[in-house]
Structure 1
Amino acid sequence: MRADSTDYRGVLLAGVPLLDVRAPAEFARGAFPGTVNLPLMDDEERHQVGLSYHLHGPAAAVALGHHLVSGERKAARMAAWAGFANAHPDGFLYCFRGGMRSQIVQQWLRAEAGIDYPRITGGYKAMRGYLIGVTDQAARGNLLVLGGLTGSGKTEILSDLGAAVDLEGLARHRGSSFGRRAQAQPSQIDFENALAIDLLRRREDGWRAIVLEDEGRFVGSRVLPLGLYDRMQQSPLVWVEVSFEERVQRVLRDYVQGLCADFIAARGPEAGFAAYAERLREAMAGIARRLGGARYGRLSALLEQALAHQASTGDVELHHGWIMVLLQHYYDPMYAYQRESREARIIFRGDRAAVTDYLRARSAPAA
């Protein structure tokens, strides 16, 4: 029989299977990567038990809970919990504070299914607190920040570095006005938890510095933890320099071809293409004020021509037109201004190969 655990570090590092028995609404607000939600009570049942607790006290609330989760309803939930436990014998279960709900599930599994399944002592709240501490610790550690103009391939560089944490990948957003993907962003808490686990793994691997992409406080609608963001603004900056032509091609590949493919994979050819086209239109409209009326009108016309041509022929060549104008007259001037304010922090600049080698050398574990 395995014991209940307070080894949050070990559980999270190993990606141990976790059974979350909180209500669906609690789970939707935040959980841990790969966790499965099989609740003891659904949202309405939890609401009723909560009202009973406030009106009549804990004994009445417990009695109501046992009444609500009984008979066929209890049997179905027992079968789901037993199925998870048998499929994941190395896992753990938890509720919010590691209290009554997880204890009840644990007791029922033992008494009625003959399964001894351990709990996370302290539950979700304790593990969440541990991860907040991990992020706070990372914000006091050594960071290297990777910068470059739009389309410079920063994400590709990060993927080649063991010391890197991909903020945009975790947030499921490319970080710009055109950065929304076909998949929805995670909840804020899910983003923070996944980020903290990645930071924990880099620390455990012994890297001398963690590498992050230069980001604003917001990555789409997700917000970087303030301490980490502030530390990034003070950390050394490594700048990758890429030709304009290569950047245009990369933007075309990621923000046009890749986005279209993602939508089609998710929704099918016709609905997927329509959603992809609307996403590009929305992105352009989102920066209309900053573009100015005349430039926005010109870029919108170029975009519509490119979309119509792509829809009829499958060819994406016409997208080069609006991408080139947008880089030259919107993104590049904006980044030039930002780089000027950060010039004193730049410790190295070079092409992709040189920057990758430099970051590897600076972040490598101590011998």
Structure 2
Amino acid sequence: MPELTQITDFTRLFSNNIPLIDSRAPIEFKQGAFPHTHNLILMNDEEREEIGTCYKNKGQAQAIGLGHQLVQGKVKDQRIEAWLEFVKNNPNGALYCFRGGLRSQIAQQWIYEASGIDYPRITGGYKALRRFLIEETDRIMQKITPVVIGGQTGCGKTLLLNKFKNTIDLEGLANHRGSAFGNTTTPQPTQINFENTLAIELIKQQHCAHLIFEDEGANIGANHIPDCIQVKTRQADLILLDASTEQRLQVSMDAYVIDMCQNFIKLDSQHGFSNFANYWLTSLEKIQKRLGLERYQALLKKVNTALSMYQEQDNATGFYPVIEELLVDYYDPMYDYQIQKKMDRVVFKGNAEEVLSYLKTFA
């Protein structure tokens, strides 16, 4: 058999969204993977565990023998068929296992034997790709100049950032809006997946002299922002976006009420509104301690009234006083306290049109 192709150019893989076969077991894939990757296994979780035990107790040769015993006949044919289907649909793709060793070599070999196709495998596998992304995040952040946009809750920072290409949308990558009400209708990525996707975005944007970030804390929901990004963005020029309370109310109504409710219903037509109501009630409960019991109970009453009105009359206006109170009495004092510590970094302040015009100088 000829020597089959290996890939060492990881930048090209991620820059071009090359589709990948991840031949690891499902338990490994769930812990961390990459975008545009499909988990098409050589071994399932039980087989992997059994072979691992055999390797520890009896050595590599016995473990390989057991592997061929477990993955043969119909099981082997089904797994090869799944790989060949992927290869047919993604002729420019590649495959990997954990270290680029035996599992991906076997998969590559079986694909070749079944089809004559030399489908490349990635040198060093998942471990090498993961290490590469961590190192690239650090290298690129040292190289680029970040610009940070801040502003009060609901002022439309994300909407503004979406008008530019040279941005890193940390909240989008974390699938969270970065507050007690920041959950979306779907779960956040694992920390590893968040870091992987973030690194890939940086690789794609690394030729920009400036990258625009939103002002964030150390964490976005359950995801931690890598330290090298925190260090650079906390030293960066800060641009403040101004918006009236009315504008902020409308942005927040769209994001946290209208769109959120629609998204819950799209996801589950039967229980969508109940899930939306639960989102509001659990989010409010998260800030109960900060609000104090009296304020919390008053707001809870308003939220329940707003939910009833929305469900029974399709009228969302009951949320306006709730959101206004949260913005003005809860979020604004916290923002005012935090922004005072950063005023020495502020280089520009203005409304959406003015900030948009200013930011174009960094595009």
Matched, 1:250 2:240: no
The reply on whether 1:167 has 2:174 as its aligned counterpart is: no
| Post-superposition offset of 1:223 | 0.7
The aligned residue for residue 216 of structure 2 is: 215
CA drift of 1:139 comes to 2.8
> Residue 67 of structure 1 aligns with which residue?
69
Query: How far off its partner does 1:177 sit?
Result: 0.5
Alignment of 1:109-188 (within 5 A): 109-140=111-142, 141-188=144-191
Q: Distance in 2 between matches of 1:177 and 1:258?
A: 17
Deviation at 1:344, TM superposition (A): 0.5
Cα separation, 2, equivalents of 1:328 and 1:11: 47
Distance 1:315 1:244 in 2: 21
Corresponding letter in the other structure for 2:116? G
Equivalent-residue separation in structure 2 for 1:286 and 1:139 (angstroms): 33
Q: State whether residues 82 and 115 of structure 1, in contact with CA within 8 Å, keep that contact through their aligned partners in structure 2.
A: no
**Structure 2 regions of 5+ residues with no counterpart?**
none
Whether 2:336 is the aligned partner of 1:347: answer no
Contact 2:5/2:118, CA 8 A, preserved across alignment: no
Q: Which residue of 2 aligns with 1:322?
A: 322
Give 1:186 deviation, angstroms.
0.9
Aligned residues: 360
- SS for the counterpart of 1:145 is strand
CA drift of 1:113 comes to: 2.8
C-alpha displacement of 1:50: 0.5
Deviation of 1:115 (Å): 2.2
1:128-168 CA-to-partner distances (Å, cap 9, x unmatched) read 11111111123323111110100011111111111101011
| 2: CA distance, partners of 1:24 / 1:309 | 45
User: How far, CA to CA, are the matches of 2:52 and 2:360 in structure 1?
Assistant: 53
User: TM-score, normalization: structure 1?
Assistant: 0.96
The Cα of 1:357 is off from its aligned counterpart by 1.9
1:9 aligns with 2:21: no
8 Å Cα contact 1:161-1:356 kept in structure 2: no
- Aligned to 2:234, what secondary structure does the other structure show? helix
Please tell me whether residue 296 in structure 1 is matched to residue 299 in structure 2. Answer: no
Aligned-residue offset at 1:114 = 2.3
| Superposed displacement of residue 232, structure 1 | 1.4
**SS at structure 2 position matched to 1:139:** helix
User: How far does residue 99 in structure 1 lie from its aligned partner after superposition?
Assistant: 0.6
**What amino acid sits opposite 1:42 in the alignment?**
N
SS where residue 317 of structure 2 aligns? coil
Tell me the SS of whatever aligns to 2:342: helix
Q: Which letter maps to 1:100?
A: L
- Identity among equivalent pairs (%): 42
Residue 174 of structure 1: CA displacement?
A: 0.7
CA contact (8 A) 2:24 2:42 kept: yes
How far apart, in 2, do the equivalents of 1:46 and 1:87 lie?
Answer: 27
Q: Partners in 2 of 1:288 and 1:354 — Cα distance?
A: 37
Farther-moved stretch of structure 1 (275-284 vs 119-128): 119-128
SS at 2:348 equivalent:
strand
Counterpart for residue 49 of structure 1? 51
CA-CA distance at 1:324 after TM superposition: 0.6
CA distance, structure 1, for counterparts of residue 357 and residue 51 of structure 2: 58
1:201 aligns to what?
A: 204
Shift of 1:263: 0.6
Deviations 1:199-233 (A, max 9, x none): 11111xx3211111111111111110112112211
Say whether the 8 Å CA contact 1:144–1:211 is kept in structure 2: yes
Contact kept in structure 1, 2:180 and 2:283, CA below 8 Å: yes
TM-score of the aligned structures, taking structure 2 as reference length = 0.97
Whole-angstrom CA distance in 2 between matches of 1:34 and 1:90: 12
Residue in 2 that maps onto 1:273? 273
Q: CA deviation at 1:353?
A: 1.5
Secondary structure, aligned partner of 2:122: coil
Task: In structure 2, give the amino acid aligned to 1:46.
Answer: R
- CA distance in structure 1 between the aligned counterparts of 2:359 and 2:202, rounded to whole angstroms: 17
Distance across 2 between alignment mates of 1:52 and 1:245: 66
Structure 2 residue 311 is the aligned partner of structure 1 residue 311: yes
Q: Map Cα deviations across residues 289-315 of structure 1 (whole Å, 9 max, x no partner).
A: 001111111111110000000000111
SS at match of 2:43: coil
Which portions of structure 1, spanning 4 or more consecutive aligned residues, are displaced by more than 6 angstroms? Answer: none
